[in-house]
Structure 1
């Protein structure tokens, strides 16, 4: 082969891209013949495979065998059978498939295919020399074993990519997700339904999780009791004190409301008034007077009892007027939102009452990960509306991750030019690799970023709703998107022979030979802590973000570093070896570099007058004396593994601890225990709205009395080792929505709602059934009874009112706002030939189907025979819930 052919061969091997078709090289006819012999597959072959290869993904078993890697924790692995069926003949060879598989593949078995892990979740299927092509209708299989477990159908990712050197990559059509018209939810068509309890549903022999049946759900829902008056008078989140009119009277708002601002600025309450208007409560000079004011001392308080808590208010709904007095503008805003909570859509009257209210926690947060998969500005604006409606006041916006960078930084365009997109470019000069089943389309909704103007619109909307935006661009781990962008910047300026500018913001040491694997299985996702250019990058980004905030009118006062899950990087970095040998910062070994990075970045933030926040695992390794006075630590340690110890240790540092426990506050987890329920489950296989409502965040260890671990087994907690110091409290709680497999805005809403309403309840209201924390320390298990039967009964009684309020009063409001909250599965049994059905949120519509016939509305027990299915339907009848069979 002559040198020209060799060069062309190498170029073709390196290109492997599908964002664009590379031009065919100009070679003479003889050389074309030789090139075709090397690469026999043509573009029409790739197109044919994409169109006609049917992929089927079936979890065979989660039961480990001797084929599993014994070095992996628990010896756990699961087996998948991939079946490929050709609708038409496929004769071409030398093509490959790239696909995303969250858990790395350990081993495989196939006569004609081989598979290997590339990076992160990306894997490659190649053809063996023995590959014989597909006859029309022929099927071939590839069995593989991957780490840990696969317990939900949503674990499998879409958009398998077929490609060949120097050709345009295509997505295999049988793996392209679609939206179900009834539910509005994404369906990944190549994933086979789970059917076997022992081999597919169970994690291992000790897993006692039960596959939720309609019968079991019917029994659970049966305890709910309707109380229409309690629902009409309910405010979510529940106020601190409510005095109901002794005669249960109502006042008419048929003519709307006439608002007097008093000493309140319109800009401070306009969003709340707009919310009322969307519910049909409009302003009218002839309407019921609503008088607003701010006062240092709220009504019924003396000066020495004056409420100092931001957001406090006093609300009176009287026969002739409504008055709202706030301790500040935020308090008046909250009072108006409580007024909106009293509204029943379509009912022009309000219950008469007096409310005195203040928040239990100052920090009432919601995290949304827009970095793994992008979520639109419109979704964020809608989320802000609902957060404000339920008095949540902190939006933790996760903008930077391994798989994407989502905020425009004008001075560093590479961050969004390259790292806001995932397509098929294995060189990553145009975009990032197609992690998380992104496919090849740069215009996909999973790609994108917020321009400066987009982000400032979000900030302005948040300010108008008294919500603080806390941005997060994760570092030093979880930073692959920024690393790759700055490497591309380096190459660009190196090509221009501007070496100083090339190295200005470089985040990796090219001579580092460290082999490591992050929690998400990347081998190149950690910013080098020993390069000055890494800190120059942090300064540049944070200076820019601070300016963006200032120009939008919401100063950047707190920034979330991330700081978690740094995976053994730097060990063989010459820069780090030199730094550890010669530094004067007290760093004596490589294992201290992660903490040093956080300490130094915290100092950079302090110099910019920005407070530091981070995740508990990374923050816990820092030296307290090297950290700023104000530090926020998000505690995400699992309760069933004794995570309260870590939480208490951080709080005892006098840090501001925000409870973010995955056992109950990770909303990317499934609502119920069913393989068709969407989400990850490493800490909980069922986190429904009731569980969030049950949370007692002031007392973490007590949950061992009534909750179970991730396998639904009892556990015990010992709080005598690291109890909280006397009087020490947490600053707040935060719900989390991580987006690894959440690809659409509708799916985000399905995951967040209605759990967000229960989050708001626990963030704002201290329940009278909650067990106070024992500062002397205590031990808890299902054999202790600190949480008494009387407290349990009161909790369940209040849950019944809460659930009814959601179904009858709050869901119609979410529907007006076009929020696609999760519709619950229906509980149902058949007794003596009659169908009995109920639902977790009374007020929603129940439908049933007999022998796959037409769907009918369930009103009362009805005679049935044959196969019976049930589902829920929204009150506006525009969406249906997931179908379940009644056995």
Structure 2
């Protein structure tokens, strides 16, 4: 079950029940004072107005507005109410026009209140609220979300404003980039030219397997698939045999599965697959995992459902992965996603030979795993919603709104859920690495343990502070990228390490109960804001006691303790890159260098930062002796938007990541195609450092992902390019020194990849009805000689169009060549089930 409660006592049970109880209809009705507007009759619109460039802000700031309209027969009063909402970006607080005042409550949680000059809002009238962002806002996902109304007369009741929308971005000043030189939008013509690098290949030239195998030798004959399939396998391969029978449910052939030595390959995931017209199919793996991946290759080779020729071409494949760690990080903390969603992505990972789920279970906005003995972690830390009292639940975040039953704001995995997920992953040869964020990104835990402290203290318990995570006397001034000022675990408190030790021990127990090995826990480490701990009496006292000079030394102390806790259970510590780095100054600027203290500890650092100035950080850490996992934000972050168009979903703090950006990633030479200036002073991988690269992973944080379908849109098909890079060896274009030859090799390989996706891989998902609403990119359109040329990044996708400005449907005219008709031409691509993608349009009148 997906639990919402896990109380260990009557008191905590009552707290938990209160945390997830929705506001009864009668309570909401009573919350509206006599003669005041109802929330359901308020309309709120957000509009991006313009970008403003000044000498003080050459990169721009954004001016936006909220338009509030009273559609009720009662006024919005001059006093006694507040409008609450979330914003992913900072906003200038204070007077915002119309006599209203904007306040920041915590993080990205704001409220709008009437000031002395507000006279109320009469029925039928509108007011405008000016919102000023300190940076230029590009993505609509940065707009306010989850607005709700609270009256002072009923401060615990939040009433959602359902009539809320974002106005479209259509005017030049809304996307103005000033003198930055940045392109305001990607146009259909831009897309057409980018897509033109690959055309439609004949079916015989489309690569038959993804990820690309090491060695593939085609034969001359064909093996017919009939209803007379037989699968022979030893008992140890019962699960793999069951998968084989599932593949053959529409017709198969004799199949022999076995574990044995795959000549020339030591990887336990290596396999050999042969398909012969006379001898049938045989798969041998170095382990059950190798057999499993051989079956995934067989799945790829099977005819598409409904194919006219149900046969397999003869072939001999010998294959092994490039990296032992091929990961996908799924964040369920920022927005919760339940067990069935996790199962779905484990299935997809297995299909494309990814073998590690990095499970981001905790963050500032949610703690998503039941921990025995600490019920507040889920009774409070797993629940978001409105409350006027502290310690009841977390505040709304990312648009979760006032209702604590909101499916993305609230929820967690019970211990039974987690054990079930572990076993489901193990059956698919996927390791689960749980992540417990610390010392930053820990607000859910900090708040939950403070509530526990107050509850037990009020009850007279001597153990009230046993798991306390922050110093009540801390006056440190800091702000996280998510705008929090109270979210950090304090290393000056021994109770912090008691808490960490308890959580680690309980996670170890869960893996043991599941019968699933646990080798490491990801212990966080990223984005500790400057200034944290610096004015905490507890931390300062510890620094004096341990003779620590700086907060960087205190960081080392913290992870020295964390490492000892993890090692006690026979594990090694994993974490974000900062765990293996040390903050220092170079010419007055912050710089991360490899931390010499932990190079021999066996830390595994997941390196996300390859932004300007830090492009070589992963290589410097590997060269210094750290095991690393490559997770570069500019290539592998699936939450990054594909492009800068405001309506394109995703964030953009690190990069824009198109499919070809992922495909073009060269793990061992990030900067191969960079300019000489960008490479200047940057380190490459030494032979020693190269051996420290354990693998790579895609990363999906879910700030903008409230709906599981949004995961599909952001991750697919980009995750397929990640799978290709993680499994297959460097393609020829990646190692070719001649730029012209490399470009030609790249063009040929790229064409094969996108044709495989458009003609074979994604159609199989469609026809098998796997339920993956992958991103169907907008077509490219180019007006030339009075005709409209159309293409798509994935050759083989069906294109349909209209000429009257309406959105194309599955019944619209197919694009079979240049479109000669006049009008407002709109074109969309469609999957094999008739699902449309993003629409592109050009005026050809």
Deviation at residue 860 of structure 1 after TM alignment:
1.1
- Shift in Å, 1:826: 1.3
- Specify every segment of 5 or more residues in structure 1 that has no aligned partner in the other structure, as ranges: 1-14, 25-40, 176-189, 706-713, 773-784
Partner residue, 1:310: 268
Aligned counterpart, 1:653: 624
Query: Partners of 2:830 and 2:753 in 1: how far apart?
Result: 19
1:31-67 CA-partner distances (Å, limit 9, x unpaired): xxxxxxxxxx96156983412222121112233347x
Which one of 511, 522, 527 corresponds to residue 565 of structure 1? 527
Aligned to 2:92: 106
Give 1:727 shift.
6.2
**How far apart are residue 572 of structure 1 and its match?**
1.6
Secondary structure in structure 2 of the residue aligned to 1:265: helix
Please list the CA deviations of residues 239-279 of structure 1 after superposition, one character each: whole Å capped at 9, or x if unmatched: 0111122x4x4321132632111475213x257436x53xx
1:472-511 alignment to 2 at 5 Å? 472-499=435-462, 501-511=463-473
Cα distance change of structure 1 residues 170 and 363 upon mapping to structure 2, 3 Å threshold: same
Change (3 A) 1:213 1:23: closer
- Which of 28, 35, 44 in structure 2 is aligned with 1:55? 44
| Paired position in structure 2 for 1:765 | 728
Distance 1:881 1:48, change over 3 A: farther
1:595 Cα deviation from its structure 2 partner: 2.6
Residue 83, structure 1, aligned to residue 87, structure 2: no
Contact kept, 8 Å, 1:46 with 1:169, in 2: the verdict is no
Deviation (angstroms), 1:771: 3.6
The answer on 1:692 being equivalent to 2:662 is yes
Is the aligned partner of 1:381 residue 2:346? no
Residue in structure 2 matched with residue 11 of structure 1 by the alignment: none
Q: Distance in 2 between matches of 1:656 and 1:17?
A: 42
Partner of 1:711: none
Alignment-derived partner of residue 11 in structure 2: none
Deviation at 1:626, TM superposition (A): 4.7
1:53-452 to 2 correspondence within 5 Å? Answer: 53-65=42-54, 76-88=60-72, 89-92=74-77, 93-107=79-93, 109-167=96-154, 168-175=157-164, 190-197=165-172, 199-209=173-183, 211-230=185-204, 233-245=207-219, 247=220, 249-255=221-227, 257-262=229-234, 264-267=236-239, 269-270=240-241, 272-273=243-244, 276-277=246-247, 281-282=248-249, 287-296=252-261, 298=262, 301=263, 306-320=264-278, 321-346=280-305, 347=307, 348-446=310-408, 447-452=410-415
Given candidates 564, 577, 584, the residue that maps to 1:616 is 577
Give 3-state SS (helix, strand or coil) of 2:518's partner.
Answer: coil
CA contact (8 A) 2:35 2:75 kept: no
The one of 788, 801, 820 equivalent to 1:863 is: 820
Aligned to 1:604: 565
Question: Contact between 2:45 and 2:67, CA under 8 Å: does it hold in 1?
Answer: yes
1:337 and 1:390 in contact (8 A); partners too: yes
**Partner residue of 1:638?**
610
Counterpart-to-counterpart distance in 1, 2:673 and 2:207: 30
Equivalent residues of 1:226, 1:801 under 8 A apart: no
Normalised by the length of structure 2, the TM-score is 0.89
User: Is the partner of 1:812 in helix, strand or coil?
Assistant: helix
Task: Give the aligned partner of residue 10 of structure 2.
Answer: none
Match in the other structure for 1:9:
none
Q: Deviations over 1:196-241 (max 9, x none)?
A: 34x3335552242352222222222233233334466510000011
Match of 2:837? Answer: 881
Alpha-carbon deviation of 1:672? 2.8
- 1:722-768 CA-to-partner distances (Å, cap 9, x unmatched) read 65355633211110101111111110111111111110000001133
> Which whole-Å CA distance do the structure 1 matches of 2:241 and 2:335 have between them?
32
Deviation at 1:19, TM superposition (A): 5.3
**C-alpha distance in structure 2 between counterparts of 1:643 and 1:310, whole Å:** 34
Tell me the equivalent position of 1:790.
Answer: 741
Partner of 2:589: none
Distance 1:241 1:16 in 2: 57
Partners of 2:687 and 2:476 lie apart in 1 by 41
**Distance across 1 between alignment mates of 2:35 and 2:59:** 39
**Counterpart Cα distance in 2 of 1:16 and 1:466:** 37
CA 1:702 to 1:47, structure 2 compared with 1: closer, same or farther past 3 Å? farther
Q: Distance between the aligned counterparts of 1:397 and 1:244, measured in 2?
A: 39
CA contact (8 A) 1:46 1:95 kept: no
CA contact (8 A) 2:80 2:153 kept: no
Scaled by the length of structure 1, the TM-score of the pair is: 0.85
| 1:675 pairs with one of 625, 642, 646 | 646
CA shift for structure 1 position 801: 1.4
CA contact (8 A) 2:200 2:796 kept: no
- CA shift, 1:344, in A, is 3.1
- Structure 1 residues 655 and 564, CA gap change in structure 2 (3 angstroms): same
Q: Which moved more, 1:718-727 or 1:56-65?
A: 718-727
CA distance in 2, matches of 1:541, 1:857: 59
**Over residues 461-509 of structure 1, what are the superposed CA-to-partner deviations in whole Å (9 max), with x where a residue is unaligned?**
110111100000100000000001111111111111003x211101011
Following TM superposition, by how much is the alpha carbon of 1:842 offset from its aligned partner in structure 2, in angstroms? 2.2
> What SS does the corresponding residue of 1:863 show, helix, strand or coil?
coil
Structure 1 residue 335 displacement after superposition: 0.6
SS in 2 for 1:736: strand
Cα distance change, pair 884–226 in 1 and its aligned pair in 2 (3 A): closer
Measured at CA, do residues 270 and 689 of structure 1 come closer, stay the same or move farther in structure 2, by a change above 3 Å?
A: farther
Deviates more, 1:564-573 or 1:741-750: 564-573
Kept in 2: contact 1:232–1:344 (CA 8 A): no
Change (3 A) 1:271 1:824: farther
